[in-house]
Structure 1
Amino acid sequence: MVILHLAIILPFLFAIAAPILHKLLPRVHVGWLMLPVPAALFAYMLSLIPVIRDKGFQEGTIAWMPSLGVDVHVYADGLALLFALLITGIGSLVLLYSIYYLDKNREKLVRFYVSLMLFMGAMLGLVLSDNLMVLYGFWELTSISSFLLIAFWHEREKSLYGAMKSLVITVFGGLAMFSGFLLLYVMTGTFSIRELIAGVPAIAGHDLFVPAMLLILLGAFTKSAQFPFHIWLPDAMEAPTPVSAYLHSATMVKAGIYLVARMSPIFAGEALWLWLVSGLGLLTLVYGSFRALKQIDLKSMLAFSTISQLGLVMSLFGLGSAAALYTGTPQAEFFSKATMAALFHLLNHAIFKGTLFMVVGIVDHETGTRDIRKLGGLMAVMPITFTIAMIGSFSMAGIPPFNGFLSKEMFFTAVLNIRSMDLYGMDAWGTLFPVIAWVASVFTFIYSMLLVFRTFGGKAQFDKLEKKPHEAPLGLLLSPVVLATLAIVFGLFPNLASYSLIEPAMAAVHPGLLGPGEQFMVSISLWHGFTTELFMTAGVVALGIVLFLLHKRSAVLNQPLFVKATLNKSYDGGLSMMDRVSHAITRVYMTGSIRHYMIYIFAFLILALGLTLFGQNAFSIDTSGFAEMSFYEGAIMLALVLASIAVLFVNSRLMAIILTGAVGYLVSLFFVIFRAPDLALTQLSVETVSVALFLLCFYHLPKLKKELVSLRFKLGNLIIALGVGATMTLVALSASRTKPFESISHYFLENSYKLAGGKNVVNVILVDFRGFDTMLEIVVLGIASFGIYALIKVKLKEDGLESAPGQSRAALPLEAYKSNDVILKTLAKLTIVIILGFSLYMFYMGHNHPGGGFIGALMASAALLLMGMSFGMKKVDRFMPLNFQKLTALGILIALLTGIGSFVFDAPFLSHAFDYFDVPIIGELELATATLFDLGVYLTVIGVAMTIIFTIGRDQ
């Protein structure tokens, strides 16, 4: 379905458009321009409810890299739909809330909403992806975009610290998860989650099954802040409140929960899965709820509360996995009720926690503090906010008639039911589950009461506040009012979500539990009689009220924990130790000498390849198939060797550069003899531009020191050079001796014209068959040129040589290279026109004749360089008044858009098309989309070359 893919793409498109829209409509708050995106997506997701309820799923595929088994396969089942509704629904309310929360005149709103849209698109991509590799890409994008959101107030040290901690921990888990995905692929040969679930019986006993499970769980636990990986979440509260309300109530922290639910059909039959997921979840639940009691900052209290509630949901999914052990029996549905409770509480938690984060944001916004010691008596001046806070807090505490009460009762039912299992020692240890759940619920009740009554009740302390408190404006109240209303509605009418959301999601988590046409029984009611669960709730409320009243007097409840060895100290100490060790190691080899670095690289190359070659007994030479050397080849080889040796004996940098260039030109003659005109043209162009760049660098180098022309210095260079040359020669000879695979050259020769419409096989390979490689190569080139530009710009700034605003780059020292040679200027006028014309010819004809975008661009760069050296850079400025950094970016964008355009025609990424057309006068003309891709290459290479030339030329 194209619309499903569009649902993922739309936030990214608006992230790109946000700066443009802001410039076009500067008086409009950027949030209003972004708000239609989640609102429209939420409406679309709502429209899918009846479709998925009846059919079970909605899917669509866009081919990306089918040969690697990686396609953008969007799969929306009940589980994905539930998360998508949370992402878009809560996202809409958070966006509306942020419009009134963030100051339009003080905050950098464009950056905020760009990051928010990136995060929303990444989350949607994560929950809607069926392919593990695509899921992983979106997973890491959520980490990056959340880092940007948490660090939004980057001038604050705590914001940067919290953002970095969240990035380090979640990316660490993400890499572990990625390894687990690869192990699953090794076992099954597929990245499709649907196919993996179908193939579970074949891999359940595989040696890699448990390692894959543990690595994937590591990713889930770090993302969902499970103990002991929870330490990033409290520090992430330095983000603006809209970010906390979105990321830490409904989206980012739920990604780990989603992964566990999605992987349950694969791993649920493993005992270790049940114990780890449920056990660690319960530990996180009780630890987080206890730590929440001791917080004095309202957002910190909500952070530990979130950790606790995530542990609750995680434990329920672990307990629900027991149903897989009873497939086809009545007990299956009995144990699956834990999954039902997990899904319902997932929804409820997003509602009441989003409400409370927004309430805390309002309190901070209207009073200037979140310190619970300074607050109190706010219900008199903020009655609406108090009412909303009470609804959210009572729901979180599990008090009827709010939605949190229902899912908390279902949680109690699940931990009581699990004791009846006679597997995995649950009959002995299962009693601990309800005990831990009950104790954690008492703590939850206490901090819920603290949050509402210590903030809004008690004695007013308005003199301690930074602002005079007053009720929030309607814009800030609207979003939490909607969520608080939902807390009441789902509490009184819980079955609104039963068969529309919960049952389809259960069917997705337990796909093989029921037979065809069967449904899970999902009946949730506010009153279910005088049960054990109800008495447990009564006990929670009774003891909770007593401990709440004693909270101020009890150091155990209200004083921070003072422990020498904490997880946060271990994290900080570990990073500090790694930093010190890396600095110590780096100081040994980072001498500042490029020659030393080259020696390290080449020495490693010699040892690695040489030892591998001889250690694997792979060195062998067979000269029987070698062709005889012609006179011309021998003459060129002799000249090449002499030029190479001569480099060792010259004491002038200029002569060394000239001889090195001569070696390159002689190599290009070999390409001519071996009938490789594309390579010859490329080599000639590269050598021409390279020699010019060498000369530009040579202009800035200090005088040659005596030790740099000494025999010892040159002997070291000779040993490394001979070692690299001998190693690569041995590798080439050995490779030509054995051919374990059939050559693919025949395929390209036979299909370059048939499949790509090009007769120049080299160019067709570059822009079609291996276009993905070429695209990444021009990206690397662009990054390198931007790096050079940035480094030298910093140096110019430090030296006070940076051009003033409005000053032409031609006014900079590069003008010193202007030639006074009349003959050179006269010849250059004709030569430049010829080279530029030939450059365009090479670009256009490269698909069928020698040439292409890369070669053409190098020729154009050489022509521009000749123009600058002959007439000065003012002439280049007038002839081509371009920003070459932007030209580089434009070229990469054209190449990328050409690849993305193939999706419109339901073809894999970077698929190209061609056809022949009859054009008046000209006749038959071939038009190929590969030419557009090659145009991107052409512009990128010109931008890169000229950026480097201009930048180096500026450096005095």
Structure 2
Amino acid sequence: MLHVIILLPFLLGVLMLMIRQNLRFHMGWMVLPLPAALFLYFLTRIPLIRAGDNILDSFTWMPSLGIDITLILDGLSLIFVLLITGIGALVVLYSIYYLQKHTDGIRQFYIYLLMFMGAMLGVVLSDNLMVLYGFWELTSISSFLLIAFWHRRERSRYGAMKSMLITVFGGLAMFAGFNLLYVMTGTYSIREIVAQAGTLTANAMFVPAMLLILLGAFTKSAQFPFHIWLPDAMEAPTPVSAYLHSATMVKAGIYLVARLTPLFAGQSEWFWLVSLTGLFTLIYGSFQAIRQTDLKALLAYSTISQLGLIMSLLGLGSAAAFFAGTEEAVFYSMATSAALFHLINHAVFKGSLFMVVGIIDHETGTRDLRKLGGLMSLMPVTFSVAVIGAFSMAGLPPFSGFLSKEMFFTSVLNIREFDLLSSGFWMQFFPVIAWLASVFTFVYSMILVFKTFGGKLQEAKLDKAPHEAPLGLLLSPVMLISLAVVFAFFPDLVSVPLIEPAMASIHNGLLAPGTNFGVSIHFWHGWTPEIFMTLGVIAAGTLLFKGYSRLRVLDREASGRNPLNRMYDGSLQLLEKGSRRLTDAYMTGSNRHYLLYIFSFLIIALLAVLVREPGISLGMEHYAPLSFYEAVVVAIMLLAAFAVPFAKSRVNAILFTGAVGYMVTLLFVLFRAPDLALTQMIIETVSVILFLLCFRYLPKLKKQKEPLRFKLPNLIIALGVGITVTLIALAAMGSSPFKPISEFFLKESYSQAGGKNVVNVILVDFRGFDTLFEIMVLGIASLAIYGLIHLRMEADLPQRQRDKVGSALTLRSNDVILQTMSKGIVLIILIFSLYLFFAGHHHPGGGFIGALMASAALVLMAIAFGMDWVRKALPVNYRLLTAVGLMVAILTASGSFVFGAPFLSHAFGHFHLPVLGDVELATAVLFDLGVYLAVVGVTMNIILSIGGDKQWNS
């Protein structure tokens, strides 16, 4: 069931691609039911998770690499999936009224949003580290697309690129850390790795793995100094900010730290890095938030601050691992419960506050605090939501943020008793920094409310006459912020069903046997130090709020002079300049230079391996004797190859090259390899025609005599490549320590794949992955060729050259005999093509060869009657045919998932059919059909694009 849930957002996104965009209703109404339904489904799983039963869903994907798609729903992931789906539903509802129905790119907006939702669900449900990493990077890609939704704005593109570069950089570091864990444990399963935690701490790779993983978590969750991408990401539409940058994406790093706490907790490096990084991010973000004049920028830095708070709590909670099985473990684990509770509270109040800012921008036309004020009476509902959200963020009663902030104060006070490596003195600074950051949090929360809604209305500075938002825009923030009140008075709605199971997931094994985590959250605990800290925050925060504008250190103009941003921009400029200089040094525009680089490196690298590697022998004693016919074919091949550089024209050079290819075809015939011979023959035919089509655009070949010194390097490189490749081929035949794999294919071809043609079975079954990626590469190459030709502008060529090219394109054969015979010959070739396709599983042939044969038939018609005649006689969109072929191949390969088999697994069997009798049917034929369609589409798309560029005929 979990696999289906993850696929649903992606499937809905594909469905939205297939419907027309000019619907009578807003496209968001199509999206809304999915997150709402998923949220309700996960709510029904709460009793099961609370009872201690995790939901596990797994099937094999790449067993040889240890990569299985294993999904697990436990207490920790349950909190996150509820946030992803619940807030996702409210954000979609909000976006329906925020974005107009006919907004440019509205379809893409929801497709990207669904892609992100599915990726986030994959991150928090994946048990396999490689699968988690795949979804992790998909969140970066989809967030990049969402941030750049207003792609015509330079700042949107800048913010999207910034977030992509920083988060992907961290993701690659995290990927390296995951692989180090695999090297240490032999598994990618998080559960299995955590089970080996006690044996890993002494490994030299353990701390490097931890540092690399934390780098990924810190960049994703905008921890200092990687936070700089988050303020620029505010260029995204407000629904995106409310969803990605307050409730979901930025919480991915929080999730990763919480998920891997059982593995790394107990390490002093983990405690100090997580807690201090979080604490510094908390105070830095809160300080910077005060200095902002843009409401979304203020919320961006407040998000950074709150993420630091949650991260620091997870670090403080890891101290419980030092006291496993004792009462101190429960004492210090309270910080983790505070982190989880504040995680929920932050999603509630920050998501609603982003929506409030969107409403203000929507109804007034600005987010600039210097232009706002006096909106309290004009927007009373929006003001009420802002008050509840901001006061909850400031940790004021009677809202849920007050409870989690009190738990935060308790945690930093408790940590003073934790003496790690004689660091008791430094522990005293934790509550001091926490209190000071809370004062700043109070100040920016008050700025958000009273500088926006209080004071005097400045209507002259506003782009619109302010008024209350419509019900549709208010519904989502009102529903969301109401939870801040509900959770405050009824905290057990969260603590018992959600936080306690999550605590069991994070700190599993720390408690004595038979005991469970009991999370108790109350509104009033008496006159405790925490209460006095809160009163101090209110007093100091009020004074600072009244006079912060007069403090030079809080000068708002300084907010644009961020040294970290300058460092980022400078680094990019330095990289661009350096890469440009390096590229200019070797990208001279000369193909000869490029070939010299490539082949020189090939010779040096491979010959060095042959010389230095021990045990390599050429092994020529086991080769079969050379027959007379083989010697003749090789001699003709050599003569044709030697003739190429001395050809007087390009046409002759192409024909000599073709002769080499046809001699190779004869060698395959002599070696009794009919599949290879057929393939080589057809490819050579189509290639010769393709070369002729390409070369006719070039000017007439003019050969000039040059001194020998210019050709000597060419001779050296040519001889070197020939000798190197020959030696490698001989070494591969004589030095392999393994048995030839051909014996396995010959033995298992029919028993495992149901095919007697070993070559075709290898292509569509044993090595089907290779074939699938090959046709994908061919498809991309054909589209690239099509784009290069059809995106040219007429003005790029002089009129005389256009006329010359245009007239050349109308050329066709005037041979009546060729035109008459080709009609019958083409029919024979096409029938033979179908025979090769259907017979390929047991006899020479297959989808690839059959497709090339069909393409050769169409090329023959093009030669006889012209490209335009082929277009009119067969009005096929070959780009679409390529896509259909790829889709058939991918769907066939994915169909094995339905039966719980690995990707690209095939099945076959014998069936008794009427008239036909006993017939063998194999799913590999369907995959081969996709190959057939894709290759025909690719070949004809290239031929018709190069040989019939219609834009020059217009």
* TM-score clears 0.5: yes
Residue number in structure 2 paired with 1:115: 112
Give me the whole-angstrom Cα distance separating, in 1, the residues matched to 2:897 and 2:660: 45
Answer yes or no: is the 8 Å Cα contact 1:293–1:558 preserved in 2. no
| 1:17 pairs with one of 9, 15, 18 | 15
Q: Which moved more, 1:676-685 or 1:447-456?
A: 676-685
Give me the whole-angstrom Cα distance separating, in 2, the residues matched to 1:710 and 1:697: 30
Q: Does 1:777 align with 2:774?
A: yes
Answer yes or no: is the 8 Å Cα contact 1:285–1:309 preserved in 2. yes
Report sequence identity in percent.
64
- Write the deviation string for residues 249-297 of structure 1: whole angstroms up to 9, x where unpaired: 1111001111111111111121111110111010100000000000000
Give the secondary-structure state (helix, strand or coil) at the position aligned to 2:696: helix
Q: Does 1:33 align with 2:30?
A: yes
| 1:859 pairs with one of 853, 863, 872 | 853
Deviation at 1:148, TM superposition (A): 0.4
2:937 partner letter: G
For 1:781-860, list aligned pairs within 5 A: 781-796=778-793, 798-799=795-796, 815-860=809-854
Residue number in structure 1 paired with 2:802: none
Residue number in structure 2 paired with 1:929: 923
1:604 partner letter: F
Residue number in structure 2 paired with 1:486: 483
Deviation at 1:906, TM superposition (A): 1.0
Q: Which moved more, 1:814-823 or 1:235-244?
A: 814-823
Deviation at 1:886, TM superposition (A): 1.1
Q: Which moved more, 1:641-650 or 1:120-129?
A: 641-650
Q: Does 1:919 align with 2:916?
A: no
- Write the deviation string for residues 391-424 of structure 1: whole angstroms up to 9, x where unpaired: 0000000001111111111111111111111223
- Write the deviation string for residues 849-897 of structure 1: whole angstroms up to 9, x where unpaired: 1111111111111111111110112332234211111111111111111
Deviation at 1:86, TM superposition (A): 0.4
| 1:453 pairs with one of 421, 430, 450 | 450
Answer yes or no: is the 8 Å Cα contact 1:391–1:487 preserved in 2. yes
Give me the whole-angstrom Cα distance separating, in 1, the residues matched to 2:156 and 2:570: 19
Answer yes or no: is the 8 Å Cα contact 2:867–2:948 preserved in 1. no
- Write the deviation string for residues 576-631 of structure 1: whole angstroms up to 9, x where unpaired: 11101111111122122333322222221111111222122454323221221111
Give me the whole-angstrom Cα distance separating, in 1, the residues matched to 2:716 and 2:388: 78
| 2:79 pairs with one of 66, 78, 82 | 82
Q: Does 1:523 align with 2:520?
A: yes
For 1:494-893, list aligned pairs within 5 A: 494-515=491-512, 517-561=514-558, 566-617=563-614, 619-707=616-704, 715-796=712-793, 798-799=795-796, 815-893=809-887
Answer yes or no: is the 8 Å Cα contact 1:376–1:457 preserved in 2. yes
Give the secondary-structure state (helix, strand or coil) at the position aligned to 2:518: coil
Give me the whole-angstrom Cα distance separating, in 1, the residues matched to 2:340 and 2:106: 34
Answer yes or no: is the 8 Å Cα contact 1:814–1:954 preserved in 2. no
| 1:223 pairs with one of 220, 232, 238 | 220
Answer yes or no: is the 8 Å Cα contact 1:418–1:426 preserved in 2. no
Answer yes or no: is the 8 Å Cα contact 1:22–1:30 preserved in 2. no
Answer yes or no: is the 8 Å Cα contact 1:707–1:713 preserved in 2. no
Give me the whole-angstrom Cα distance separating, in 2, the residues matched to 1:915 and 1:710: 68
2:780 partner letter: I
Answer yes or no: is the 8 Å Cα contact 1:619–1:730 preserved in 2. no
Residue number in structure 1 paired with 2:130: 133
Residue number in structure 2 paired with 1:328: 325
Deviation at 1:744, TM superposition (A): 2.3
| 1:345 pairs with one of 342, 353, 357 | 342
Judged with a 3 Å threshold, the aligned counterparts in structure 2 of structure 1 residues 844 and 401 are, in CA distance, closer, same or farther, namely: same
Q: Which moved more, 1:265-274 or 1:101-110?
A: 101-110
Give me the whole-angstrom Cα distance separating, in 2, the residues matched to 1:274 and 1:576: 36
2:845 partner letter: G
Judged with a 3 Å threshold, the aligned counterparts in structure 2 of structure 1 residues 564 and 469 are, in CA distance, closer, same or farther, namely: closer
For 1:253-332, list aligned pairs within 5 A: 253-332=250-329
Give the secondary-structure state (helix, strand or coil) at the position aligned to 2:73: strand
Give me the whole-angstrom Cα distance separating, in 2, the residues matched to 1:543 and 1:311: 22
Judged with a 3 Å threshold, the aligned counterparts in structure 2 of structure 1 residues 300 and 228 are, in CA distance, closer, same or farther, namely: same
Answer yes or no: is the 8 Å Cα contact 1:813–1:954 preserved in 2. no
Give me the whole-angstrom Cα distance separating, in 1, the residues matched to 2:149 and 2:210: 35
Give me the whole-angstrom Cα distance separating, in 1, the residues matched to 2:559 and 2:255: 35
Give the secondary-structure state (helix, strand or coil) at the position aligned to 1:280: helix
Judged with a 3 Å threshold, the aligned counterparts in structure 2 of structure 1 residues 857 and 414 are, in CA distance, closer, same or farther, namely: same
Answer yes or no: is the 8 Å Cα contact 1:56–1:504 preserved in 2. no
Answer yes or no: is the 8 Å Cα contact 1:778–1:937 preserved in 2. yes
Give me the whole-angstrom Cα distance separating, in 2, the residues matched to 1:505 and 1:934: 48
Note the residue ranges of structure 1 that are not aligned, 5 or more in a row: 803-810
Answer yes or no: is the 8 Å Cα contact 1:648–1:714 preserved in 2. no
For 1:332-481, list aligned pairs within 5 A: 332-481=329-478
Q: Which moved more, 1:172-181 or 1:558-567?
A: 558-567
Residue number in structure 2 paired with 1:187: 184
Answer yes or no: is the 8 Å Cα contact 1:814–1:873 preserved in 2. no
Answer yes or no: is the 8 Å Cα contact 2:326–2:512 preserved in 1. no
- Write the deviation string for residues 337-374 of structure 1: whole angstroms up to 9, x where unpaired: 11101111100000000010000000000000000010
Residue number in structure 2 paired with 1:807: none
Q: Which moved more, 1:157-166 or 1:739-748?
A: 739-748
1:694 partner letter: F
Give me the whole-angstrom Cα distance separating, in 1, the residues matched to 2:311 and 2:378: 39
Answer yes or no: is the 8 Å Cα contact 2:25–2:101 preserved in 1. no
Give me the whole-angstrom Cα distance separating, in 2, the residues matched to 1:518 and 1:932: 56
Residue number in structure 1 paired with 2:894: 900
| 2:232 pairs with one of 223, 229, 235 | 235
Give me the whole-angstrom Cα distance separating, in 2, the residues matched to 1:877 and 1:814: 17
Q: Does 1:146 align with 2:143?
A: yes
Q: Which moved more, 1:120-129 or 1:825-834?
A: 825-834
Judged with a 3 Å threshold, the aligned counterparts in structure 2 of structure 1 residues 562 and 55 are, in CA distance, closer, same or farther, namely: closer
Deviation at 1:22, TM superposition (A): 3.8
Q: Does 1:56 align with 2:53?
A: yes
Give me the whole-angstrom Cα distance separating, in 2, the residues matched to 1:708 and 1:184: 62
Give me the whole-angstrom Cα distance separating, in 2, the residues matched to 1:563 and 1:859: 64
Residue number in structure 2 paired with 1:808: none
- Write the deviation string for residues 915-949 of structure 1: whole angstroms up to 9, x where unpaired: 11112222222211111111111111111111111
Deviation at 1:678, TM superposition (A): 1.3
1:11 partner letter: P
- Write the deviation string for residues 613-663 of structure 1: whole angstroms up to 9, x where unpaired: 212245432322122111111111111111111112223211111111111
Answer yes or no: is the 8 Å Cα contact 1:651–1:709 preserved in 2. no
Answer yes or no: is the 8 Å Cα contact 2:756–2:841 preserved in 1. yes
Judged with a 3 Å threshold, the aligned counterparts in structure 2 of structure 1 residues 902 and 140 are, in CA distance, closer, same or farther, namely: same
Answer yes or no: is the 8 Å Cα contact 2:67–2:188 preserved in 1. yes
Judged with a 3 Å threshold, the aligned counterparts in structure 2 of structure 1 residues 644 and 762 are, in CA distance, closer, same or farther, namely: same
Give the secondary-structure state (helix, strand or coil) at the position aligned to 1:379: coil
Judged with a 3 Å threshold, the aligned counterparts in structure 2 of structure 1 residues 708 and 691 are, in CA distance, closer, same or farther, namely: farther
Over the aligned positions, Cα root-mean-square deviation in angstroms equals: 1.8
2:689 partner letter: A
Give me the whole-angstrom Cα distance separating, in 2, the residues matched to 1:559 and 1:250: 27
Deviation at 1:746, TM superposition (A): 2.0
Give me the whole-angstrom Cα distance separating, in 1, the residues matched to 2:42 and 2:578: 51
2:933 partner letter: L
Give the secondary-structure state (helix, strand or coil) at the position aligned to 2:549: coil
Residue number in structure 1 paired with 2:245: 248
1:391 partner letter: I
Give the secondary-structure state (helix, strand or coil) at the position aligned to 1:60: strand
Give me the whole-angstrom Cα distance separating, in 1, the residues matched to 2:707 and 2:818: 37
